[in-house]
Amino acid sequence: MNNWTYAARLESFPDVPEKVFEKGNPSYTTFDKIDRMAQAKGVTHIEPNYPYHFYENTPEEIRDHAKGYGLDVSGVGLRFVEEFTGGELTHHCSQKREMAMRNLQDGIDACRRMGGTTATIWSTYDGFDYPFQADYGRMWKYLVQCYAEVARSNPDMKISLEYKPYEPRQFYFINDIGTTLLAVLEADCDNLGITLDFAHMLMKKENPAYSLALAAERGKLFGFHLNDGYGSHDDGLLLGSVSLLQTLEFIYYMKRYEYNGVIFFDTFPLREDPVKELELNIRVFNRISDWIDNIGMERLADLVAQQDALKVQEMLVLEGLLK
Ligand SMILES: [Mn+2]
How many CB atoms lie under 10 A from the CB of residue 99? 15
pLDDT at 21: 45
If you measure from the C-alpha of residue 9 to the centroid of ligand 1, how many angstroms do you get, rounded to a whole number? 9
Distance CA 38, CA 108 (A): 24
If you measure from the C-alpha of residue 263 to the centroid of ligand 1, how many angstroms do you get, rounded to a whole number? 12
If you measure from the C-alpha of residue 157 to the centroid of ligand 1, how many angstroms do you get, rounded to a whole number? 19
If you measure from the C-alpha of residue 162 to the centroid of ligand 1, how many angstroms do you get, rounded to a whole number? 7
pLDDT at 88: 96
Which residue positions in the chain have pLDDT lower than 50?
1, 19-25
pLDDT at 257: 98
If you measure from the C-alpha of residue 158 to the centroid of ligand 1, how many angstroms do you get, rounded to a whole number? 17
pLDDT at 289: 97
pLDDT at 24: 47
If you measure from the C-alpha of residue 225 to the centroid of ligand 1, how many angstroms do you get, rounded to a whole number? 5
Would you list the DSSP string of 123-138?
-SS-EESSTTS--HHH
pLDDT at 265: 98
Distance CA 111, CA 293 (A): 34
The letter for the amino acid at 82 is E
Give the helix, strand, coil percentages of the chain, each rounded to 5.
Answer: 45, 15, 40
If you measure from the C-alpha of residue 150 to the centroid of ligand 1, how many angstroms do you get, rounded to a whole number? 20
In sequence order, the 6+-apart residues with CB closer than 8 A to the CB of 268 are 9, 12, 235, 236, 237
If you measure from the C-alpha of residue 70 to the centroid of ligand 1, how many angstroms do you get, rounded to a whole number? 24
Are 213 and 259 in contact by the 8 Å Cβ rule? The answer is no
If you measure from the C-alpha of residue 234 to the centroid of ligand 1, how many angstroms do you get, rounded to a whole number? 9
Q: What percent of the chain shows pLDDT beyond 70?
A: 95
In sequence order, the 6+-apart residues with CB closer than 8 A to the CB of 50 are 76, 77, 78, 79, 103, 106, 107, 110, 111
Distance CA 288, CA 252 (A): 9
Give the residues across from 194 on adjacent strands.
Answer: 161, 221
If you measure from the C-alpha of residue 269 to the centroid of ligand 1, how many angstroms do you get, rounded to a whole number? 14
- Where exactly are the structural domains of the chain? 6-295
If you measure from the C-alpha of residue 304 to the centroid of ligand 1, how many angstroms do you get, rounded to a whole number? 29
If you measure from the C-alpha of residue 197 to the centroid of ligand 1, how many angstroms do you get, rounded to a whole number? 5
If you measure from the C-alpha of residue 120 to the centroid of ligand 1, how many angstroms do you get, rounded to a whole number? 9
Are 222 and 195 in contact by the 8 Å Cβ rule? The answer is yes
pLDDT at 15: 53
3-state class (DSSP) for residue 322: coil
If you measure from the C-alpha of residue 305 to the centroid of ligand 1, how many angstroms do you get, rounded to a whole number? 31
CATH superfamily ID and name for 6-295: Divalent-metal-dependent TIM barrel enzymes (3.20.20.150)
pLDDT at 27: 67
